Structure 1
Amino acid sequence: MTHRTVHLPVAARPSIDDVVSLARLAEETGYRRAWLPETWGRDAATVLATVAERTDDIGIGPSILNVYSRSPALVGQTAATLQELSGGRFRLGLGPSGPAVIEGWHGQSFDEPLRRTREYIEIVRQVLSGETVNYAGDVFTLGGFRLRCDPPETPVAVDAAGMGPKSVELAGRFADGWHALMLTPDGVRDRMEDLRRGADLGDRDPDDVRVTLSITCAVSEDGERARTLARQHLAFYVGAMGTFYRNALARQGYEETAETVASAWGNGDRQAALDAIGDDLLDDLGAVGTPERAREQIERFEAIDGVDRVAVSFPRGAEQDELAATLEALAPNR
């Protein structure tokens, strides 16, 4: 059975209270976990700590902490602390993010992203074990220390985020779960083959790797408003975030659209970028439109073999009431 989770909005809200209120609404309406992707807004650890304090049952976690801006040992410490604070409700997502954020925001070289992700997973697990950490990798060498506090009573699952074949293979081989995003149904099925290959390489059962698929959702009685929000969101990521998302769409048969969007955006023609995104692409990537249409679309993603969780995520430009309306329209308990 596929369960629904939610990605708290990546675009800045006016206050932390606004973010927490969405997590509380998600808890009330039956979502299983509130994820918070960390980009260049509020840091995930502080916001998730606040969510943990103000909720009772919903799981929490960063769908992605990048593997450049914190040391792997600090990520392990953070995971242990949030697991304690939340009473065992924490799950960790790791991934390289992309060059635009790592180089442009954190000032780090985007080198060896897959190797770093693997080493982070291995080191974080050592930290969380409570044993002395001794690790000699290609990127990191450290040792001689262990957690000063007791390790978590409930083990912390460590997931990996990824879009390309090799990153998904890595998740299947080393992580407890895979976070997928900007994938069409056919794209998910293609990447499932990479996940299974990774699991085989790691001598693991692929069914033991939890697959969480994030899809962009915008629900409104005014279906066109919802679709405009989704177009704006997609155009920004394809046009403004380097080649990362453009390449992902190209792998899934939308190369011409991706190139047109990126070219128009780069030339400052935002409207042309939006116009290049057809209804077929919107429907292939998300659940967007009237409540009835969006519910049908999200159920199509949930029916994909191997998908364990669908994460409702939101377009960047949605207002607080639109976020709440989308959450309620797609709520498991509705």
Structure 2
Amino acid sequence: MTHHTERDVHLPVAAQPSVDSIVDYTQTAENLGYECAWLPETWGRDAVTALAVMAERTDEIDVGSSILNTYSRSPALLGQTAATLQEVSEGRFRLGLGPSGPIVIENWHGIEYGNPLRRTRETVEIVKRVLSGESVDYDGDDFDLSGFRLRCDAPEETPPVEVTGMGPKAVELAGRFADGWHGLMLTPDGMRDRLEDLERGADLGDRDPDDVQVTFGMNCCVLEDAERARELARQHTAFYVGGMGTFYRDSLVRQGYDQAEEIYDAWQEGDRERALEALDDDLLDELCAAGDAETARENMARYEEIDGVDAIAVSFPRGARPGEISETMEALAPDGD
């Protein structure tokens, strides 16, 4: 390995019994040596409140949103939120943004999805101006702001503004405008391809690509019962490819896995068994770190060895029970390598 790769944790996306349980996972991650605890926001608890509690009840671990969508809050409010969470965390906050997808944005938030790339770029630009403490004058296609600035002091240390993205243009945008990029559902070769997109974006923005923090969110499950671990990871992956819009399907097809079409079609037809069968062991091992500890660490190491990947975020299958999440977190903790 030619470079140090951070180990983060991406807290469970599935509903948790309480905010306290989310905090417990964060404290466990801190004790195990993880560098950042990323919290998603879907259609359960809002992430901002939970992140504030996480920050208050930890001391060293960074806390970040992965992701807050760019539609349900205005860019100015996202900037205010980032400034406030940076204050509460005493400089440990990282703002992760992304457009999410039309299923969530239109069916849950009731907002037209529009142009996600443009919306993300303008949001990043406005958030950075808000965090500078200067007057925000912005004339964009989606947003037109003038005459206001933060009423409180701007953060002494500006929190990074990072974005998600799966397609070439989205990753290029991250390289051009953002402080970091979060990738997921990528094979090692797919990750290398997207890093080329990020470098191209950095060149367009006259930036050093090394200044863009690259975090790969990897679905992980390590259990004494290795077969259950693999089945949980398989079910999770098939759900995302088949049931969460077309982004994940298209990403895998772009990487040369035409079987993603079969997974998607079978899931849409309600044939879960055929969808799971189409997601074979080879593809599972290309995308996930699942099974026994040795196999999982070997799969994770393939990403850690990629030049340009700065952090691996350990994430968990949506069907994993609390004890299985803890077992996985402990098995893949950085202090245990």
Q: Secondary structure of 2:93's match?
A: coil
The match for 1:115 is 118
Question: Is 2:297 the partner of 1:295?
Answer: yes
Q: Secondary structure of 2:216's match?
A: strand
Counterparts of 1:202-281 in structure 2, within 5 Å, are 202-255=205-258, 257-281=259-283
The match for 2:101 is 98
1:220–1:326 Cα contact (<8 Å) kept? yes
Question: Is 2:165 the partner of 1:162?
Answer: yes
Question: Is 2:171 the partner of 1:171?
Answer: no
Q: Secondary structure of 1:306's match?
A: coil
The match for 2:75 is 72
Alignment equivalent of 2:331, drawn from 288, 309, 329: 329
Alignment equivalent of 2:130, drawn from 127, 130, 133: 127
Q: Tell me the distance in 2 between the aligned counterparts of 1:284 and 1:42.
A: 32
Alignment equivalent of 2:286, drawn from 274, 280, 284: 284
The match for 1:40 is 43
The match for 2:183 is 180
1:64–1:94 Cα contact (<8 Å) kept? yes
1:10–1:41 Cα contact (<8 Å) kept? no
Q: Tell me the distance in 2 between the aligned counterparts of 1:175 and 1:277.
A: 33
1:32–1:58 Cα contact (<8 Å) kept? yes
2:166–2:247 Cα contact (<8 Å) kept? no
The superposition leaves residues 113-141 of structure 1 with CA deviations (integer Å, 9 ceiling, x where unpaired) of 11111110110011111111111111100
Deviation (angstroms), 1:49: 0.6
The superposition leaves residues 278-298 of structure 1 with CA deviations (integer Å, 9 ceiling, x where unpaired) of 011111111110112111111
Q: Which amino acid aligns with 1:22?
A: Y
Give structure 2 stretches of 5+ with no counterpart. none
Could you tell which deviates more after superposition, 304-313 or 99-108? 99-108
Q: Tell me the distance in 2 between the aligned counterparts of 1:264 and 1:96.
A: 26
The match for 1:61 is 64
The match for 2:12 is 9
Deviation (angstroms), 1:250: 0.5
2:63–2:92 Cα contact (<8 Å) kept? yes
The match for 1:312 is 314
Q: Which amino acid aligns with 1:329?
A: A
Q: Tell me the distance in 2 between the aligned counterparts of 1:44 and 1:239.
A: 26
The match for 2:154 is 151
Q: Tell me the distance in 1 between the aligned counterparts of 2:193 and 2:325.
A: 31
Give structure 1 stretches of 5+ with no counterpart. none
Q: Secondary structure of 1:91's match?
A: strand
Deviation (angstroms), 1:92: 0.7
With the length of structure 2 as denominator, give the TM-score of the two structures.
Answer: 0.97
Deviation (angstroms), 1:303: 0.8
With the length of structure 1 as denominator, give the TM-score of the two structures.
Answer: 0.98
Q: Which amino acid aligns with 2:233?
A: A
Q: Tell me the distance in 2 between the aligned counterparts of 1:21 and 1:291.
A: 23
Deviation (angstroms), 1:235: 1.2
The superposition leaves residues 28-54 of structure 1 with CA deviations (integer Å, 9 ceiling, x where unpaired) of 000000001211121110111110011
Q: Secondary structure of 1:92's match?
A: strand
Report percent identity of matched pairs: 68
Find runs of 4+ consecutive structure 1 residues off by over 2 angstroms.
Answer: none
Could you tell which deviates more after superposition, 313-322 or 231-240? 231-240
Q: Tell me the distance in 1 between the aligned counterparts of 2:138 and 2:48.
A: 25
Aligned length: 333
1:161–1:178 Cα contact (<8 Å) kept? yes
Q: Secondary structure of 2:8's match?
A: strand
Q: Tell me the distance in 2 between the aligned counterparts of 1:210 and 1:266.
A: 35
Deviation (angstroms), 1:310: 0.5
Deviation (angstroms), 1:333: 0.8
